[in-house]
Structures are given as C-alpha cells and as structure tokens.
A = this chain, B = another copy of it.
Amino acid sequence: MLFAGLRVCSRVTQSLSCSARQQATLRTRFLATMAPATQAVNTSERLQALRKLMSKPDYNVAAVVVPSEDQHYSEYPATCDERRAFISGFTGSAGCAIITPTDAFLFTDGRYFLQAEKQLDRNWTLMKQGLPDVPTWQEFLWKKLPKCTRIGVDPTIVTASDADTIQKNLEPLESQLVSLKHNLVDLVWTNRPPRPTNGIYPLDLKYAGESHVQKITRLREEMRKKEMHAVVVNMLDEVAWLFNLRGSDIDYNPVFFAYAVLTPEKAHLFLNPAQIDDTLREHLGGHVDIHPYDSFFSYLRELGAEIGLHKKSRALVGDKASLAIVEAMGADNVVVARSPVADFKAVKNETEVEGFRQSHIRDGVALVRYFAWLEEQLNNGVELNECQVADQLEHYRAELDFFRGLSFPTISATGPNGAIIHYQPEPNDCAIVRRDQIYLCDSGAQFLDGTTDVTRTWHFGTATPEERRAFTRVLQGHIAIDAAVFPNGTTGYVIDSFARRPLWEDGLDFRHGTGHGVGHFLNVHEGPHGIGVRIAYNSTPLKSGMTVSDEPGYYADGRFGIRIENVIIVREAKTPNNFGEKGYLKFEHVTMCPIQKSLVDASLLSPKEGSWLDSYHAEVLEKLSPLLHADQRALAWLQRECSPL
C-alpha cells in the first residue's frame, strides 16, 4: 500500500482476535461522538471549554496546537489519541488544529480539502496547505500569530526536532512554545475512549529468528560503538521488534503501547501491567525490567540526572522522539539521531525472510480465489459494491494459517475511484464494481510469519488501447525494479527512476513513491529505507535482507487507476564480476499473484520483459497450484492467467 496514513476498522471481525473485536467496538463508540464523514459536528462547546482552560493561570496560553500524532508517532493512532479529530470534527488522517481565543484553524493537504470542508463547522477556518500563500501550521505560528504569543503544546505528541525548529523561528518574535502539563483536549473530552489494554503475547523464535536477548546484545554493541550510555525507544513497532512481542492496541498494526530504554546493565520496558501475564514475564526472563507505562517520564528524569551528574556518555533518542522525552532527560544529556533499532529491524534475518516467502504464498491463495470468484460474479452479472467484494477477499484470507487480521484497510476501487490514490470505500456509499471498468485492489494481511501488501489491477471486460498501454508502462516500471542489480551502497532514491523510465517515455508519471519498507508481522509501512523521490531515502542504502514494496502506478483522474505491487526482498546477487569489491545486490519477489496478461500490450515489451512475465507466472503457478485443489474455479483461473504470453 502506498505510504500515507489511512485508518478505518475492518468490516469482517469474525476472523479477528478477541482484542481486535474489542478495539472495533471502541472505535464504534468513538465514531458515535462524531458526525458522519459528510456532515459537520458542532464543536462550539468543546472549543469554549478548551478556551476557558487556555486562559487559566495554570496554562495561560494564547494558542494551542493539536497535531494528529500520538506520543509514539504512530501512523495509525488509537481512537483515544484522535484529539485533533475530536476537537475539530475533521476525521482525515492528516491535519493539525490551532486554536486561539477567537479563532480555530484546521490545516490539511489536498487529499482532504473536500472532506474537511464538509466536516468542519462554522467555528473553523480551513487552511489548505500546499496552495500558494497558505502557510504550513508550523509557519503559521511565526508568520501569522502576534508577537509575544505563548503557544501551548502537549510535549508528548510533538517531536523534539519539530519543536526545535518552531522555537528557533519564534525567538525573534519573543513568542514561545510552552510545554503544557496536561493535554487540554483530553481535559475537555468527555467520554474519551480509554487507551486500549489488549493482551500482549510473545512472538515465537521460530517466527522471529532471533531472540530478544540476542537483539539486546546487538543493540548494546551498537551503543558501545556509538559511545552512547543508553538508547530510548519510543516507536511502538521498534519496542515490539526488540522484545519479540506483539499486541493489538492499534488497528492493523500488531503493536501495543510501550516505551523501552536500554542501558548497558538493563533493558527497561514500560507498559500497562494489566496487558501482560506470566507467560509473557517468562518469555522476557530476567533480562528485562518491567515498569508501569506511566512511570516512563519519571524514569527518564532520573536517567537524565544520572547522566548529567556522572558525566556519562549521552543517551540516544530516535529522531521521532517527542519533546517530552528530550525535556525529561535534559537536552544536554541526549543525542537525537536515527534509531539503531529501526536500522536493525529493517534488515530481516533468514527466518523472517523465509516467513515472508511462506506467508506470501498463503496470501496468494486467497488472492487467486478472490479474483477468480470476482470474475465469475461479474460475468454472471451479480451486482456487488466495492466493500462487498473486499469483504469476500478478507473472508478468503481469514481462512489462512497464521492469519492475524488485515495489514491495512483494503483499497477496493472501480473505474474513477482507482485514480483517487488513497481511496477508501465506505460501506454505505461506494460504487458497484463494473465489468467494463478497471478495478484496482490494494490489500494485505498480517500473519505470524510475515506481513503482506499487494496491488493488482484487473479489467474483467475489454480494456481500451490507452488503458492497456498505460498498464504495460506500469508493468515495465515494476519489472525494471524487480530485475535491477546494483552495488552495495546504492539507495532507493537512486533506483527509483528505473520504475518511472517506461512511463516517462509516454509522458506519464505517478505522484507517489515506488516502494516502502515492510515490517515482519509488524507495520506494513516501515523505514528507514524506501524507493522513491523523497530525499530521505537517499540516506539509507539498500541492504541484503531489507523488504520493500515495488508499486509503480498511473492514475488518469476521473477515469481509472493502475498499480502493480509486489513485496520484494534485497538479496546478494551473483555477478560475473565484483568491481570495487562492494558486492552486488538484487531483488527476490515474494508476492505470488498473476498480473493480468490481457491488459499487456506485448508489442511494447522487450524480449527480456516478456520472459520476466512468463517466468513470474510459471513461478506463481508452481507455488500456488498445489494449494488450490479445494477450489477448482480458482485453480482453473490460475492456470489460465499463468499461461505464457
């Protein structure tokens, strides 16, 4: 799935764990406090209560910033952390609210202008970021607010680096970013959903491939190399990876609310004790000290004081760490830098790689059953909407071994909806899937042994020459990444152009990255690497063992969307030479699902590209057909779709 936050809950809950169902219930309760996506909620009372607090001597601020993020900078926040949605009424995934005694501003980007216009009531001014002369919310603070303004933030949900930039720009104006003792939105949020407390469970070594003790040892070695006294881990997927634990506090991401701190002597894990049991304590063993989640900041204050007092080497905090973390430790006692845990986690071990292979083969079975079913339904004239068909896919997935829910909400889009890059069908308001339109399906699942993410684009009737040409260009871009060989040290920024070259030839392009990292039974989007035009991707060379998606696309506004996505894994390549003694790398694709041949204009393909497609299909057929004997419709469909060009 394209990298950008999206969140709603799954419609198919019977296959999910008890905790996920509980989470879905919480969300339903939360949504009841909100208006539907097309209607404004009355925010007058909330704002009045908030403004009253702002003026109290305890806080005394003339502006309050309410960002979308939670305290772990999660891509998908839990409902209890959707403060910006609560205060503004706007439920889109990206946005920031700024409230002053007289005004309220909601900043969001082009994807959400329409939705925000519908959801904001008259208390709010919509700030359309990206349009000329519209400041970002950060710029607004120093460009539009009066001098000497005290601007309140909850320091636990603003990153230290963001706060630093803002503070520097406020200084000439004698304005000030004020860290508030309490989150003022929480104080006015009656019926705020509780923080999820779902069970946490260990991930067996047979799936993780490396024990948490080994991971902690490796991280300590890294600490020594970097001369760091401690590492503070604030990202939920990093904590889950480090201790080989999983949970279900956040939709689609098998994580749980926790912080961790590693020192040379101890590993400290901060979580809600109600979420763990003796099995889990046993799993962690004597190597890990468990503390209550709420004691994290007081522990940091002690650790910071200790570092300061004994002039120890400093603590490393990740670059997504909150201002509150840096303030608790004392800025002089920390180094804000790339998280070494993120770097470790990105490189999958051989057990994880094999898990990726196996989970993707299983996932392929569900995909093939689904597309075969869908084709038959459409051929038979059955009327089904985008949500109904997506639910069928989820049903097939739910039957698979080790299935633990979806990895993100399925993008199931027919015709023009496929051109809306982050389209999300609404059960009560979505299109009927049509046989004479292109259908784009981007979906994925969580398995104990891996996370999947796959996009296929189908035309179940007869495609136009334009659609076939565009599909072929996208396919050529996909193949160009899949077949690339490159030396160690090469980044995803540098090879991104391979995916675009065939599209560029026709004057086509796509406005998203080519690929994102994929977690191992963790978040479907993970860094720090990726393939794309974001310059940050140029800081992380691709390494053997990294997973990444390969998903070029093309979108004709108002008409159709095309995307072809596999998950691929960086592997060592055997090249006839090894110039520069750097070692060369290649990709292995693990996604197993046919790519529609009848959408390919074979005259555009080079002989090599044609062979690639045939050999991919031969591989898919070989791996999936033994698993499809119980579904003869799917098997026949697979055999037809995997025949040579």
Contacts and interface: CB of A to CB of B under 8 A. Distances in A.
Interface stretch (A189-197, A364-372, A481-489): A481-489
Contact of A578 (B485, B507, B554, B582): B507
A56 interface: no
Interface stretch (A67-75, A160-168, A423-431, A492-500): A492-500
A579 B559 CA distance: 14
A427 to B, nearest CB: 33
A363 to B, nearest CB: 30
A509 B580 contact: yes
Contacts of A578: 507
A607 interface: yes
Contacts of A503: 579
A268 interface: no
Contact of A505 (B509, B535, B575): B575
B501 A487 contact: no
B506 A487 contact: no
Interface residues of A, number: 36
A577 interface: yes
A577 B508 contact: yes
A576 B506 CA distance: 6
Interface in A446-498: 484-487, 490, 494-498
A149 to B, nearest CB: 29
Contact of A606 (B511, B580, B607): B607
The A interface is mostly helix, strand or loop, or mixed, namely: mixed
B584 A507 contact: yes
A509 B487 contact: yes
A504 interface: yes
A311 interface: no
A543 to B, nearest CB: 16
A364 B508 CA distance: 36
B504 A580 contact: no
A576 B601 CA distance: 16
A225 interface: no
A313 to B, nearest CB: 20
Most buried by B among A484, A504, A573, A582: A504
A579 B494 contact: no
A608 interface: yes
A503 B501 CA distance: 18
Contacts of A500: 486
Contact of A584 (B504, B535, B607): B504
Contacts of A485: 501, 504-505, 507
Which 7 A-B residue pairings sit nearest by Cβ, starting from the closest?
A507-B575, A507-B577, A509-B579, A606-B606, A485-B505, A508-B579, A485-B504
Interface of A: 484-487, 490, 494-498, 500-501, 503-509, 511, 533, 535, 538, 554, 573, 575-580, 582, 584, 606-608
